[in-house]
Amino acid sequence: MQSGQNAVQASEFEAQRRAGHRRLRFTPALEKLYRDQRQHALPERARPVAISAVALFLIYAALDPFLLPSELAHQTVAVRLLLSCPVILLIWGLSYAPVSAKRFARWYAGAYIWGGLNVVLIIALARRQAFPMPYDGILLMLMFGYFVMGLPFRTASVGSALIIGSYIGVEAAFDTPMPDILMNGFFLLTANLIGMVGAWLSEYRQRAHFLDRHLLELSREQAEADSAAKTHLISVASHDLRQPLNVINLLLDNLSATDLSADQRPLARQLSQSVTHFNGLLGSLLDISRIQENMIRPVMAPVPVATVMQQARDALDAEAVEQGVSLVVEHCNPALAVEADPHLLHRVLQNLIGNALQHSGAETITLGVDAGDRQHRLWVRDDGRGMPEHEQTRIFETFYRRDTDNQAQPGLGLGLAITRELTAMMRGEHGVVSCEGLGSTFWVTLPAAQAITTQPAAAMPIELPAGDRILLVEDDDTAREALQQILERWGFAVLSVATGALARHLARQQAFGLAIIDLHLPDIAGDDLFRELLAANAVGGGILITADTGRKQAYDPAQRLWLMHKPIVPARLRAALIRIQHTEAV
């Protein structure tokens, strides 16, 4: 259904529910939809009904020779086997045949009337031989039509009236005493009335369920549309807000590298810190929005604990050094692993370390793990000021900030709330142990994974082996020029273009050691362009940069490819280039 039709139908469904349907009728459009759906469901219901009906007729056909006179038994068996059962089997066959739902519904109703008239015929044959055949078969047919076959109220009522009328006509034709006709007719009409009430109630409930089901489905579709709109808004906001931050960050790095005066350097440093702080606030807001909109789906895998702790430490080491804090990773078994999403776990540890750097006033922050049989507990411990017990119960709440925080640039109180949500997504637990004046230990517990056999990693060089030619593809002119200046300052030869078409043209003329490509180019997706260049041996590795944080930051050693988020932090870009250049091509 189109969205406009959905909106109209939603109002029609709601109006119909308010108006009611005691007459078992909807507005023309809804009535057609209801009948179509009911008729389409009829063949599936008809199959077990037909099988049970054939079984009943066969049972009666087997009993007739023992209960009826011989001649009458031959006649009744013939009626059951030659008239009733073939029509029922026909209905069973049609339920599998490509017959229109409307036509099948007519055949189905006709089979009910046909079966009832066959029972009347059997009674007529008995009356002809003066055998006192009871009218119980008529009662069974009425109950079968009203309650088993699932016929619409009006169809069942009309068909039943026809069967009862035929029976009364047969009794009158064979001169059955009037008191007996009246008595039998009274009981049949009473049973028919009960069946009609039951059929009315059943159809009324079915129609109410029809309205509720469609309203629920339309509500779900509307909720999904609203959620998709929010998801799109978050993605657009992430891109549009991070893009100017990326430009500012690159310009500040180039500015800091110039010969600034003594009074200008503190201003540049303060501005850089403000931009970094704002980026952190923006990232936290977008992350909590993604979590609330269920946009984050963890991909669970065995994650080596030592590796993820070292990576988290490396990511924040520069900030720790700037604050005069020692950031230490306690030695652990390199084969120890947890079942987690590696990117989400990295973010969790980063949040815990960042929280300690910003709020604890510690001199040393230590990362470690307590190994268990089924779970491992990863922890971040500081020797800072600690916190009172009443704060420990609220520290993971959304937007909670400690009263003792006196930062020039306070946070939003989202970092630990994000940690809580991400840990829960990975089927983990979280907590804190703290004592005022003695520091705090924040921990997360995750399921243990099978031990990972790893080879000792070669020491990564800290110097950047410059000289490689880099192809830079970025459609934002200011960001492209600023990033090119940084790369050239590091000693790279850089050729920069704004589109994928120009990048292809350059790649046909010469090969590049690396490519740095914006993921969202005007004429081609950045990852598609990189794959083209890699397949043509025009590049040996690269970095995709994007303001869309819905894509996870990660390194693919097989392609020697990083995916990094904007705003680009020059120190992280430098570390990524070092890793790429010291990864052997596959």
Domains along the chain with CATH numbers:
10-222 (no CATH), 264-447 (3.30.565.10), 469-581 (3.40.50.2300)
**Which are the contacts of 393, defined by CB distance < 8 A and separation ≥ 6?**
none
405 against 494, higher pLDDT:
494
| First vs last C-alpha separation in the chain | 49
Give the pLDDT band (50/70/90) at residue 278: low
The pLDDT of residue 580 is: 81
Give the pLDDT band (50/70/90) at residue 530: very high
Residue 167 has phi, psi (to 5 degrees) of -60, -45
Average pLDDT over residues 363-372: 92
Residue 410 pLDDT greater than 60, yes or no: no
Average pLDDT over residues 238-260: 73
Q: Which amino acid is at 492?
A: F
The pLDDT of residue 283 is: 62
Contact 283, 322 (CB under 8 A): no
Residue 11 pLDDT greater than 90, yes or no: no
Residue 459 pLDDT greater than 50, yes or no: no
Give the pLDDT band (50/70/90) at residue 404: low
The pLDDT of residue 472 is: 93
Compute the C-alpha angle 489/494/500, nearest 5°: 140
- Per cent of the chain over pLDDT 70 is 85
- Per cent of the chain over pLDDT 90 is 35
Average pLDDT over residues 61-81: 93
Give the pLDDT band (50/70/90) at residue 275: low
Three-state secondary-structure class, residue 384 = coil
Contact 394, 400 (CB under 8 A): yes
Chain-wide mean pLDDT for the chain? 83
Residue 3 pLDDT greater than 50, yes or no: no
Give the pLDDT band (50/70/90) at residue 548: confident
- Nearest-angstrom CA–CA distance, 68 and 440: 93
The pLDDT of residue 456 is: 45
- Nearest-angstrom CA–CA distance, 227 and 36: 31
Cβ burial of 228 (10 Å; 0-12, 13-18, 19+) is exposed
Report which of 141, 116, 148 is spatially closest to residue 45, judged by C-alpha positions: 148
The pLDDT of residue 347 is: 83
Average pLDDT over residues 212-224: 84
Residue 457 pLDDT greater than 60, yes or no: no
Indicate the range of 18-32, 251-265, 386-400 predicted with least confidence: 251-265
The pLDDT of residue 458 is: 46
Report which of 139, 109, 135, 110 is spatially closest to residue 122, judged by C-alpha positions: 135
Residue 585 pLDDT greater than 80, yes or no: no
The pLDDT of residue 249 is: 73
Average pLDDT over residues 451-458: 56
Cβ burial of 229 (10 Å; 0-12, 13-18, 19+) is exposed
The pLDDT of residue 65 is: 93
Average pLDDT over residues 381-397: 85
The pLDDT of residue 16 is: 84
- Nearest-angstrom CA–CA distance, 405 and 175: 104
- Nearest-angstrom CA–CA distance, 576 and 318: 15
Average pLDDT over residues 455-465: 46
The pLDDT of residue 4 is: 39
The pLDDT of residue 396 is: 85
Give the pLDDT band (50/70/90) at residue 361: confident
Indicate the range of 84-88, 205-209, 263-267, 561-565 predicted with least confidence: 263-267
